[in-house]
């Protein structure tokens, strides 16, 4: 339907949803923020290409990032041991819902925060911790960050990451620019991935045991850090 110049897709026709559209708890989505009468806006579409996990779960349209952090700071895991079922970074298919709700659920504060977060609507999955690949989709599809500049330590790279952060603040909002956000996969037995809205690395080496993080060996997709540190969570869900 078209109303007041705002294009909307009903909960039965998510095929009309596009990357960057605002999603509402009633299942409608709009190209721009809708008036208050439209209901509660819950997130922004970061992808309309379903992965294997969401297809298996029956969510066939895409992924949204929530408009707000889950309040609080959380440990990824209470001790530095490898968690069975959660892979280190690889090119394999991503299963962030399973990582969050099955393998991390027993002892991860970050996972429990997602599990306990109220379901945003009947048309959506429960929330989960995103993987580094999903975080990069947000940076690239919403923040318009050129992947080639994500790890560039020149002025061009820094300017691109600053522009990405500004776009994410404006189009999604609620991020803490100087804070790190847990991601769903681990690195070895002591670290887990995290990201920021200024890109997935900032061009400088950071030691993983001082609570700040360090590069992966190939410089992507982001930082890894001591999993017992407390960081923020910005959840995503399928639709």
Inside any domain, residue 140 = yes
At residue 191, the pLDDT reads 82
Q: How confident is the model at residue 215 (pLDDT cuts 50, 70, 90)?
A: very low
Domain assignment of residue 135, given as a range: 38-238
Q: Which of 25-29, 97-101, 136-140 has the highest mean pLDDT?
A: 97-101
**Count of structural domains, the chain:** 1
Phi-psi region for residue 42, left (φ > 0), alpha (ψ -120 to 50) or beta? alpha
At residue 222, the pLDDT reads 52
Inside any domain, residue 218 = yes
Inside any domain, residue 22 = no
At residue 80, the pLDDT reads 87
pLDDT tens-digit profile of 162-179?
A: 888 889 999 998 888 667
Inside any domain, residue 79 = yes
Q: How confident is the model at residue 216 (pLDDT cuts 50, 70, 90)?
A: very low
Q: What average pLDDT does this structure show over 62-89?
A: 92
At residue 207, the pLDDT reads 37
Residue 31, H or E segment: none
Inside any domain, residue 100 = yes
Inside any domain, residue 9 = no
Residue 110, H or E segment: helix 109-116
At residue 19, the pLDDT reads 95
Inside any domain, residue 12 = no
- Averaged pLDDT score across all residues of the chain: 80
Where is pLDDT greater, at 4 or 58? 58
**Where would I find the H helices in the chain?**
52-57, 96-98, 109-116, 132-141, 147-150, 155-171
Q: What average pLDDT does this structure show over 105-126?
A: 94
At residue 188, the pLDDT reads 78
Among residues of the chain, what percentage have pLDDT more than 90?
40
Inside any domain, residue 26 = no
């Amino acid at each position: 339907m078209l109303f007041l110049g705002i294009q909307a897709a009903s909960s039965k026709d998510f095929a009309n949803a596009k990357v960057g559209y605002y999603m509402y708890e009633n299942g409608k989505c709009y190209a721009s923020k809708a008036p208050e009468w439209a209901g509660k806006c819950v997130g922004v579409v970061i992808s309309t290409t379903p992965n294997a996990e969401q297809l298996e779960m029956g969510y066939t349209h895409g992924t949204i990032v929530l408009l707000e952090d889950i309040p609080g700071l959380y440990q990824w895991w209470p001790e530095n041991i490898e968690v069975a079922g959660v892979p280190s970074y690889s090119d394999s298919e991503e299963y962030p819902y399973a990582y969050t709700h099955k393998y991390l659920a027993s002892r991860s504060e970050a996972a429990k925060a997602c599990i306990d977060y109220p379901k945003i609507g009947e048309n959506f999955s429960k929330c989960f911790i995103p993987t580094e690949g999903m975080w990069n989709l947000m940076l690239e599809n919403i923040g318009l960050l050129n992947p080639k500049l994500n790890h560039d330590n020149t002025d061009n790279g820094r300017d691109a990451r600053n522009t990405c952060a500004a776009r994410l603040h404006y189009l999604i909002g609620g991020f803490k620019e100087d804070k790190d956000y847990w991601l769903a996969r681990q690195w070895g037995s002591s670290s887990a991935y995290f990201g920021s809205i200024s890109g997935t690395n900032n061009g400088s080496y950071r030691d993983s045991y001082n609570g700040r993080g360090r590069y992966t060996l190939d410089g992507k997709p982001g930082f890894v850090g001591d999993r017992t540190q407390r960081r923020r969570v910005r959840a995503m869900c399928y639709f």
